[in-house]
Amino acid sequence: MAVIFSDQEEQAFKEASSNYLPDGEYRGILVDAEAKLIGQNRDKKLVLKYQLEAPEEHIGKTHVHFLNLENASQKAYGYLKGVVGKFGLPTDGLRLRDLESEMKKLCESKTEVLFSLIPKEYNGKSYQNTEIRAVSREESFGHISDAFVNGQGEDDIGF
């Protein structure tokens, strides 16, 4: 027997966001990276998952960050390369087919990510964008401080 949904239920489902976190500043650990086919159109996406460490009320939750892998425009690939570059991966010689395995390597080390969730609008549709602000790994100079997450730190490291 087929389940019948009301027009209101269909509309609520259509408008619902998969992201349950409010706009703001977050710090998390990269725990998974996977290239997947997403949605009805089977779009190729790089799916990054961050387990949140800050702010306190969201510790332990997971944020999912989708990056488009199939829009061959210069702008789309430029954005993808910019995000990948923030993780410290060299983008000049990197191939799309190697991207997933290189990002998975970062999941093995403690890769800490500071990001903002900000509202955006494109073609009349609103969505929440994940903007990577800083990335640090155990092998790097250190982790992102709580002061930086709370907006009390500087963008540059002072010597």
Q: Residue 157 has what pLDDT?
A: 40
Which amino acid is located at 112 in the chain? E
Token digits of residue 127:
């969505």
| d(C-alpha 48, C-alpha 99), whole Å | 12
Asked whether 45 and 33 are in contact (CB, 8 A), the reply is no
> What CATH number is given for 21-149 in this structure?
2.40.50
Q: Residue 159 has what pLDDT?
A: 32
| d(C-alpha 28, C-alpha 49), whole Å | 9
| Intervals of the chain under pLDDT 70 | 1, 12-19, 71-72, 139-159
> By three-state DSSP, how is residue 93 classified?
coil
- Greatest alpha-carbon pair distance for the chain in Å reads 69
Which of 24, 34, 57, 33 shows the shortest CA–CA distance to 133? Answer: 24
pTM above 0.85, yes or no: no
Which of 59, 87, 66, 81 shows the shortest CA–CA distance to 129? Answer: 66
Which amino acid is located at 27 in the chain? R
Q: Residue 17 has what pLDDT?
A: 54
Q: Residue 6 has what pLDDT?
A: 81
How many Cα atoms are found within 13 Å in the side-chain-facing hemisphere of 101? 5
